[in-house]
Amino acid sequence: MKITLRVPKSAVSSQQGQLVQWHVQDGGIVNAGEPIYTIELEKSTLDVEAPFKGKVRRIADVGETYPVGAPIAEFEKLD
């Protein structure tokens, strides 16, 4: 199973998020609960953690701002 990790909507009015930092290399593997990237939203900063063990394919670039719903990474589930 592969899911796309996207810019979250953090509040009714939120429009965008800025990718601050990657915590894993492109193609890297993370365990459930480990951070994948940090994203700055309009009112808070969020460490997005792996919902399960998986392999990360980076899509977005650090320092760039993306609209809500834009893809940040592909995340493929590993057993």
Partner 1 sequence: MTPANGLPASKLAEIYRTMVRIAACNEKIEQLLATGAAQFQYYPCRGQETIPAAISMELRSDDYVLTTYRGIHDVVAKGTPMDEIMAEILGRMTGTSKGKGGPMHLSDPNCGLMVTTGIVGATLPISTGLGLASKIKSSGQVVICNFGDGAANIGAFGESLNMASLWNLPIVFVCQNNRYAEYTSFEESTRMASVAERAAGYSMPGESVDGTDPNAVHAAASVAIERARNGGGPTLLECVAHRLQGHSFGSDETHMDQGRLAAARAPTPIQKLRQSLIDLGVGEAEVAKIDDEARAEAEAAVADALEAPDPTASELFVDVFEDPAAIPYSGGDKPIGQEPDLSTLPTERINYNQAINQAFDQAMASDERVILMGEDIADPAGGVGKITAGLSSKYGTDRVLATPISEQAIVGSAIGAAMAGFKPVPEIMIDDFLMVCMDQVANHAAKLRYMSGGRTSVPITIRSANAGNVGRFGSQHSQSLETWLAHVPGMKVVLPSDPIDAKGLLLSCIDDPDPCFYLDAMRLYYNEQDVPTPAYKIPLGVAKKRREGSDLSIISYSWPVVECMAAAEELAELGIDAEVIDLRTLVPLDWQAVKSSVAKTKRAIIVHAATEFCGFGAELAAKLHEELHGSLAAPIRRLGAAYSPPPFALSLEKHHFPTLEGILELAESTAKYSG
Pairing of strands 45-49, 16-22: unpaired
Question: How many residues sit in the footprint of partner 1 (CB under 8 A)?
Answer: 23
End-to-end CA distance of the chain: 10
Closest listed residue to residue 8, CA positions, set 38, 33, 53, 34: 38
Q: Note whether 11 binds partner 1 by CB under 8 A.
A: yes
Q: Note whether 7 binds partner 1 by CB under 8 A.
A: yes
Positions in 21-40 near partner 1 (CB under 8 A): none
Part of the chain binding partner 1 (CB under 8 A), chosen from 18-26, 55-63, 69-77: 69-77
